[in-house]
Amino acid sequence: MRLHIKAAAIAALALAAPTIATAQDEQRIVSIGGSITEIIYAIGKGDALIARDTTSSFPEQANDLPDVGYMRALSPEGVLSVSPGLIVSEDGAGPPETIDVLKEADIPMVMIADEFSHEGIVAKIRAVGVAVGAEQEADALANDVDAKLLTAQETAAARAGDTPKRVMFILSTQGGRIMASGSNTAADSIIAMSGAVNAITEFEGYKQLSDEAISVAAPDVILMMDRGGDHGADNSELLAMPAIVTTPAAETGSVVRMNGLYMLGFGPRTADAVLELSAALYGE
């Protein structure tokens, strides 16, 4: 069934402090949050961007913009140094003291709620459109993304059939300790949208798991971001870990890695990510 977003719900997603900016305001936009930046480019307002945060790595031209820091560890000096006329941010940016300083600087700031769902993506696009004065363009994008998400989820459900796979999303293997996703996370939602079930449901958010907990979870597939480095072992190391080696995923060598923003950003490309992940899990 097609999802319809009420106007009141859309309005509730845009929380401004201290004021809401309009198209007539100075269009020197700082974008905080990878999905927000993607949306701004997708609705044709990329030329108004003067800076972005570290998580904003798509589209490629975003990387040419000054980087004001990681969205959850912003410094007021970094943001203010680019003289923004408007800040558009995913909810959750911080720390709180930085947000307080930016509010006191009397810079229009719009916080956009980040809900990990089909309807949340559609509402997010429309809320960004309101914030940057491109409502018509945002509505067109929202309608297109809405239709693509519906089709992608129907395709994923058909691929899964009556035997959805159990997927465990691992955020980090740093120090040999496995940190995985429970419920109420972006990873949990993308797994469900792709026709699978989260193998870990005993807690919300991300936690380190014991070897026993992973063995009991018995994931068919391990899902990870492709960033590597200190946070992720390569496949041979991963599948040889004592916590993993007894799982069905290790027996079949089933590890799927995807770009973090693409998989977990919940923005304009999420329908493509759903299709790609479901194909990796079940085949075309």
* 197, β-bridge pairs: 166
Is residue 227 domain-resident? yes
Residues 111, 171 within the same domain: no
Mean pLDDT of the chain: 90
For tokens 């943001």, the residue is 79
CATH of the domain at 234: 3.40.50.1980
Q: Are residues 44 and 173 in the same domain?
A: no
Domain final residue, candidates 113, 129, 149: 149
Position 15 scores a pLDDT of: 37
pLDDT digits (tens, 9 = 90+) for 208-243: 999 999 999 999 999 999 975 555 678 999 999 999
- On whether both 59 and 193 belong to a single domain, the answer is no
Q: Rounded CA gap, 118 and 245, in Å?
A: 35
pLDDT exceeding 90 applies to what percent of the chain? Answer: 85
Average pLDDT over residues 1-18: 36
DSSP string, 154-188: HHHHHHHTT-PPEEEEEEE-GGG-EEEE-BSSHHH
Domain assignment present for 214: yes
Q: Is 156 a member of any domain?
A: no
Sorting pLDDT into bands at 50, 70 and 90, what band is 151? very high
- Which of 138-141's residues contact partners 24+ apart within 8 Å by CB, and which partners? 138/39, 138/43, 141/39, 141/42, 141/43, 141/268
**pLDDT tens per residue, range 60-86:** 999 999 999 999 999 999 999 999 999
Domain of 65, in residue numbers: 7-149
More confident residue, 161 or 6: 161
Question: Does residue 183 have a pLDDT over 90?
Answer: yes
The answer to whether the beta carbons of residues 241 and 173 sit under 8 Å apart is yes
Q: What's the predicted TM-score (pTM) here? A: 0.89
pLDDT tens sequence across 242-268: 999 999 999 999 999 999 999 999 999
Asked whether residue 136 falls in the same domain as residue 12, the answer is yes
pLDDT score, position 18 = 34
Of 149, 173, 189, the residue at which a domain comes to its end is 149
Statement: residue 23 has pLDDT above 80? no
pLDDT tens, position by position, 82-138: 999 999 999 999 999 999 999 999 999 999 999 999 999 999 999 999 999 999 999
pLDDT digits (tens, 9 = 90+) for 26-53: 589 999 999 999 999 999 999 999 999 9
Q: Specify whether the CB–CB gap between 112 and 89 falls below 8 A.
A: yes
Residue 114 and residue 205 in one domain: no
Residue 175 banded pLDDT, cuts 50, 70, 90: confident
Its sign, for the CA torsion 100, 14, 53, 55, is positive
Residue 14 φ then ψ, to 5°: -100, 105
